[in-house]
Amino acid sequence: MRPFLVYSASRLGLFAVTLGVLFVVGLRDLFWLLVISLVISGVASFVLLSKQRDAVSRQISRERES
């Protein structure tokens, strides 16, 4: 369960950082702030969190095998 928690916390952290940066830059419309933050953090997590994602998939595979 630990790799899943690390990956989820990392995803949420990336989203929060992206949200904060966009807010500071001047994006104030709530809808666009959330949408753009979601897209940017999704792309960033795809690139930056590959090790964590692999750990989650290994954990799921091990649990399915047993």
Torsion of CA 22, 27, 28, 31, to 10 degrees: -80
| Secondary structure (3-state) at 25 | helix
Which of 45, 38, 60, 37 is closest to 11 using CA atoms?
45
Q: Which two tokens stand for residue 12?
A: 């949420």
Residue 15's pLDDT band (boundaries 50, 70, 90)? very high
Q: Which two tokens stand for residue 66?
A: 């047993």
Residue 60's pLDDT band (boundaries 50, 70, 90)? very high
So what's the pLDDT on residue 66? Answer: 79
So what's the pLDDT on residue 1? Answer: 78
Other beta carbons within 10 Å of 28: 9
Give the start-to-end residue ranges of the domains of the chain.
Answer: 2-65
